[in-house]
């Protein structure tokens, strides 16, 4: 699992590549820490190359959403494949995030 943070067009983009399972969640949480400085920037969680997400991964996404909303920022999810979209739909997370 690889997580990369980039700045694009005034937004912070977290790009996820691989399987975001329980084993990868600890490192991914550390990789997402730069998003805490999202003052004035919205966040995009780019799932284009994300193959799998577990409940631990969903928790990380929810933590990013809570942190960003507390700062008045929005969180968008882009590039969900059908498997990831099904997980988000079954858990109700699809209603929490804006999709791009």
What domains are defined for the chain? 2-99 (3.30.750.24)
Looking at the predicted structure, is the pLDDT value of residue 38 above 80? Answer: no
Residue the block writes with tokens 């990380």:
60
Tell me the whole-structure pTM to 2 decimals: 0.95
Beta-sheet strands, E only, within 1-100: 2-8, 11-20, 43-53, 75-78, 98-99
Report whether pLDDT(68) > 90: yes
Q: Is the pLDDT of residue 44 over 90?
A: yes
Q: Are 16 and 46 in contact (CB under 8 A)?
A: yes
């Amino acid at each position: 699992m690889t997580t990369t943070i980039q700045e694009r067009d005034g937004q912070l983009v977290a790009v996820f590549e691989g399987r975001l399972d329980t084993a990868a969640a600890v490192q991914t949480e550390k990789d997402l820490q730069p998003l805490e400085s999202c003052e004035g920037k919205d966040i995009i969680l780019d799932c284009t190359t994300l193959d799998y997400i577990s409940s631990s991964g969903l928790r990380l996404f929810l933590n990013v959403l809570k942190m960003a909303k507390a700062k008045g920022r929005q969180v968008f999810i882009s590039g969900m494949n059908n498997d990831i979209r099904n997980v988000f739909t079954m858990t109700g997370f699809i209603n929490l995030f804006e999709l791009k």
